[in-house]
Amino acid sequence: DAGVIQSPRHEVTEMGQEVTLRCKPISGHNSLFWYRQTMMRGLELLIYFNNNVPIDDSGMPEDRFSAKMPNASFSTLKIQPSEPRDSAVYFCASSSRRGYTFGSGTRLTVV
């Protein structure tokens, strides 16, 4: 099992550009989560899906952020337009009854 796979590992982009983060959950896991980690705010839950359906997106900071899960094996988190304050590490996690597994994260830097 390759675990939760996130891409890219690092992303540096200019302010105003669109950024797309990708996540492949563990096969058979029916829930998927997007978290953002910063020094100031720690780990914040942005959105989570159950069986590909968004259940709770109350953590999405603003309309510039959007997330999709078109099928059970793929999810994206998009920021358009990006701003320097979006700089953070974004983690994807998936879960089943056996537990949660986190990906290695995408370190996003917006300059």
103 binds other proteins (CB under 8 A): yes
User: In what order do the strands lie in the sheet containing 19-24?
Assistant: 5-7, 19-24, 74-79, 65-71
Nearer to other proteins, 40 or 70 (CB): 40
45-64 residues in contact with other proteins (CB under 8 A) are: 45, 48, 50, 55-56
25 binds other proteins (CB under 8 A): no
The three-state secondary structure class of 25 is: coil
The three-state secondary structure class of 24 is: strand
Binding site for other proteins (CB under 8 A): 30-31, 33, 35, 42-43, 45, 48, 50, 55-56, 91, 93, 95-100, 102-105
